[in-house]
């Protein structure tokens, strides 16, 4: 959050330098430092939202430098906190719900479990070799995308215990056997929820889509029952 706020200050010199039409190689040492800061923080801003209005950013920078800002730092922090913690999660949740409703409506082969997981069994695999418990391990190929079909993850011949993955995976992989293939549409509450992923690749309340080939299943050691 602080890094985003600092952006409004450190980009000032970069905007000024760009407006002079100078070749970056001809910058003075001071302007080079400023331009480097601008590139660094501009990169972060672009990774967050490449459609941000740069004219508004430039206006905010100018206001800070001239002590004419239209928000106090406290007001800006409060707004950004509400934006990231309330508005974005609510907006994503509505978009995810609409997306999943469309999957059920438009895909006659899709089924929905009581938990809200939507799935399509493309190939059932071996019914005698299936994961049945979270301690079981699976060997899989998979591709993960968001509702806009943008890939955020993939893996070939990845082995892991089901207890180490999101709930939607734990439930979905148990629906096919060795050699099977399944497509999963996972609602946010069975994925990364309102917090999103730690690396930022998955935003708050984002529905996920996975296509998974189950290459093998390895029964895990189940805890001994208490007598």
Q: Give residue limits of the domains in the chain.
A: 2-70, 99-218
pLDDT on residue 35 = 81
Provide mean pLDDT across the span 37-61: 81
Residue 204's SS3 state is coil
For residue 107, give both structure tokens. 């895909």
pLDDT tens for each residue of 205-223? 999 999 999 999 999 877 6
| Residue closest to 125 by CA, chosen among 167, 174, 184, 160 | 174
Provide mean pLDDT across the span 67-74: 91
Distance between CA atoms of 165 and 145, rounded to whole angstroms? 16
pTM of model > 0.85: no
Name the CATH code of domain 99-218 (choices 3.20.20.140, 3.40.50.2300, 1.10.490.10, 3.10.50.40). 3.10.50.40
What is the DSSP code string of 111-142?
Answer: EE-TTS-EEEEEE--EEEEE--STT-EEEEEE
For residue 123, give both structure tokens. 């190939």
| Residue closest to 38 by CA, chosen among 23, 18, 21 | 18
Distance between CA atoms of 102 and 219, rounded to whole angstroms? 36
DSSP secondary structure code for residue 192 in this structure = T
pLDDT tens for each residue of 103-153? 999 999 999 999 999 999 999 999 999 999 999 999 999 999 999 999 999
């Amino acid at each position: 959050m602080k890094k985003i706020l600092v952006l409004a200050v450190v980009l000032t010199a970069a905007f000024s330098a760009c407006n002079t039409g100078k070749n970056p190689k001809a910058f003075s040492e001071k302007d080079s430092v400023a331009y480097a800061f601008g590139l660094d923080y501009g990169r972060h801003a672009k990774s967050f939202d490449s459609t941000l209005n740069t004219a508004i950013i430039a206006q905010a920078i100018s206001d800070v430098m001239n002590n004419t800002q239209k928000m106090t730092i406290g007001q800006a922090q409060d707004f950004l906190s509400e934006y990231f913690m309330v508005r974005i999660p609510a907006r994503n949740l509505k978009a995810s719900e609409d997306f999943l409703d469309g999957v059920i409506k438009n895909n006659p082969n899709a089924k929905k479990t009581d938990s809200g997981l939507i799935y399509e069994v493309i190939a059932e695999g071996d019914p005698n070799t299936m994961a049945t418990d979270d301690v079981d391990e699976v060997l899989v190929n998979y591709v993960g995308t968001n509702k806009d079909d943008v890939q955020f993850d993939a893996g070939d011949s990845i082995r892991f215990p089901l207890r180490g993955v999101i709930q939607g995976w734990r439930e979905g992989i148990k629906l096919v056997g060795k050699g099977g293939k399944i497509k999963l549409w996972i609602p946010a509450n069975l994925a990364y929820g309102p917090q999103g992923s730690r690396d930022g690749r998955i935003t708050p309340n984002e529905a996920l889509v996975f296509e998974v080939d189950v290459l093998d299943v390895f029964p895990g050691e189940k805890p001994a029952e208490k007598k």
